[in-house]
Structures are given as structure tokens and as C-alpha cells.
Amino acid sequence: MFTGIIEECGKIVGIRPLGTRGKTVEVRAKAVLEDLKVGSSIAVNGVCLTTIRFGKQTFFTELSTETVRRTTFSKMSVGTPVNLERPMSAQARFGGHIVQGHIDTVGRFVGAAALKDSWMYAFEVPIEFLPLAVFKGSIAIDGVSLTIAELETGPALQKRRVFRITIAIIPHTHDVTNFKTLKRGQGVNLEFDVVAKYVQQMLEKIRLPKAKSSRSAKVKLTVQSLRQMGF
């Protein structure tokens, strides 16, 4: 498990094909190599990966076909900067929010506006993920724990089957992550709050019993009926 607090920005220095559409990726890093071991988990741009070997300046990891298909690794190339985070240790402070490293979808960076003390970054997201996006809720973008500051769902966006989120980036986050290198139209890995995903699944399972009359009938609550509704 991760918290979305990026430790350093590394760089992809090698990509080789693996199997059908998988990849073996070599990443140059420094801080995250301090206690890295073979088999250690590490989040690369928000994707939970496993270290298969490492050296003094780089580590190697393997990506399955499924991981490549669901993430921005499908379009990554040598030289791409990537956000790196080791798993949270038991004695560490919980700085961000619960980040699993399981990417839900790929969003698209659409622009940024510089303010006096921060930057506002906007991203477009496939419309089917709208139930998981909450104003002032948490989201991990390329592995960075962030807060949704604005949520737009206008007719023009809905027609294109997307919605737009805007997040605020403070100078420190801007300096230590790959956000300063994002280009308009570039894809980003998105992971929505795991709590929101569980709540959505529970609500989808609830089926309220149909009343005989919409005006006068009353639903009798029993242990059995509550269980049927998902409680």
C-alpha cells in the first residue's frame, strides 16, 4: 500500500518487450534504491510494480500485458520522467491517502494555469468514472495524492463522454514530481479513492423492495430484508 507522497522523480532508461505485449522496464533512481530488494513493491507513476533486479543507479521491473493496456506504459518511451514511491512502512505517518497502485483508467492532461502560490491542473476523465469522483475528494494522478478542487460535467463534456477535474499543485509537488513536464494531451494514470469504489459497489447491490402502492404501502424492515438490501 502507498500513500501518494512521491519520494523522487526517476527516469525510464530502458524498455524491452516481454511476452506478447508486456514490457521489462529499467528506471534510473536514487532515493528509492536505499533499501530496495528483489521482490520489493514500488509505485512507478502510480502503478504498483515488483522489482526483479537492481543496480547502483537503476532497478528493473516487469509489466504484464494487462498492466500495459490499462496504463500510460502503453505509450511510455525512454527518457520519460516517472514518479516513484516505496510502500508505506508500519511506523510511518500516513501523509496522503490510501493508494493501492491499481490503476482504474487513463486520463488526459488538458492544461494548467499558474497562480501566485500554486498551479491549477485540469484533466479529462472517461464519463463512466464520474460516480467515483467527489468534490474535495482524494484521487491519485500518476501516483500523486491530490484533492479534486473543481468538478465539471457540462453538456459539451458529456457529449464527448468525459468530465473534467481540476486540482491544485503547490510548488513543492510541482518541483518533485513529473507534473512540471506534462504536455497538453498527455495521458496520466488515475486511481480513484478505494473507499469510494467499495461504497459504489455496495450501493449497486442494494435493491429496495417494491411497494404495493406508492402512496400508502409501508416497507417492513426485518433482518432478512436488510440483508437483501446489502446491509
| Residue 96, pLDDT score | 86
Q: Exposed, middle or buried: residue 113 (CB in 10 Å: 0-12, 13-18, 19+)?
A: exposed
Asked if the 8-85 domain carries CATH number 3.10.20.30, the reply is no
Q: Which three cell numbers stand for residue 62?
A: 516487469
pLDDT digits (tens, 9 = 90+) for 105-130: 999 999 999 998 899 999 999 999 99
What CATH topology corresponds to 105-205? Answer: Elongation Factor Tu (Ef-tu); domain 3 (2.40.30)
Closest CA to 15 of 63, 51, 53: 63
Indicate the average pLDDT of the chain.
Answer: 90
Fold match between domain 8-85 and domain 105-205: yes
- Helix, strand or coil, per DSSP, at residue 228: helix
pLDDT digits (tens, 9 = 90+) for 28-55: 999 999 999 999 999 999 999 999 999 9
Count other Cβ atoms within 10 Å, centred on residue 1: 13
* CA dist., res. 32 & res. 174, Å (int): 19
Predicted model pTM: 0.85
| Residue 208, pLDDT score | 57
Residues of the chain short of pLDDT 70, as ranges, are 207-231
Q: Are 103 and 43 in contact (CB under 8 A)?
A: no
Report domain extents, the chain.
8-85, 105-205
User: What one-character-per-residue DSSP string does 185-206 give?
Assistant: T-EEEEEE-HHHHHHHHHHHH-
